[in-house]
Amino acid sequence: MDGVTLAARHLALTLAGVSLAGTSLGCAGSPALAAQLVAAAQPGHLPLVVSCWEKQVEASGFQGEYVTTVDFTVEGEMSRLRDARVTAVTPDDARGQALATCVAQALNGTTLPRTADGEGPGFAPGTAMAVKGYAIAFVAPSPDERGRAEAQQAHVLLGPRANRCEGLYRYAPPRDVTALSTELEEQEKRAQASAEGSPDQHARALQKVYDIQLELRERLRLDAAAPEVPAANRQRLEEALALVDQDARRTGALIRCEAPPLPR
């Protein structure tokens, strides 16, 4: 694994800002319910949708900005999305159409959490709810585009950064430890499995491991710094933080990165 280098082109997990614009919730709708839906539809709760944009923005050389307008139904009992249909995409070019197809499929494979988790609040409408005209903005990583997306949504997935050694993306705030630990274990297995294949694919897998390690490190740092944490718990968090920091530096060395120092 030593000496693995990343491809010359940047990798990306990109900013996906979700906004509510001209949305109708049918007979079950209300402004409060609409706000709850937007709050629950964080990028972290829409991983398949975010994946559509990751593929699209990487293929385009990290350029472009699209808005898809979607109709779908939220099942009341499970908060599962179904019958998703993209009614418009702007700009309506070949890449936009490919993105629209992917988004519809991704939404049909999405279930929103009914209760709050580390990604944000849940959504439990109680009865089936038809949603029309739901706008999802996909924004590339220029400073202006980031600013617009951050204005649309308080917590968005940001990336890629100018320096991949700082991690190509970040969640704000970082996700919870359990979710990150599970994702890290799965990504480490993928990285190990890719070791005998394409060096480029292996480097990408290692970059993702590194990104998750940095996010987990930040989550542990914030948790350990919380004033309400008992001393014994804080010690365990700090021990875990030190181990994750070592792991991040070890992975960073494989992709020729020096992990940024921990904030004090």
106-117, pLDDT tens digit by residue?
999 999 999 988
φ/ψ of 89, rounded to 5, equals: -140, 135
Q: How far apart are CA 83 and CA 113, in angstroms?
A: 18
119-176, pLDDT tens digit by residue?
678 998 888 888 888 888 776 655 555 555 545 443 334 444 556 788 776 666 788 8
18-46, pLDDT tens digit by residue?
333 344 554 445 677 877 888 888 777 88
Query: What 8-state DSSP symbol labels residue 23?
Result: -
> In 3-state terms, the chain is what percent helix, strand and coil (to 5)?
50, 15, 35
Residue 17: in which H helix or E strand, if any?
A: strand 16-18
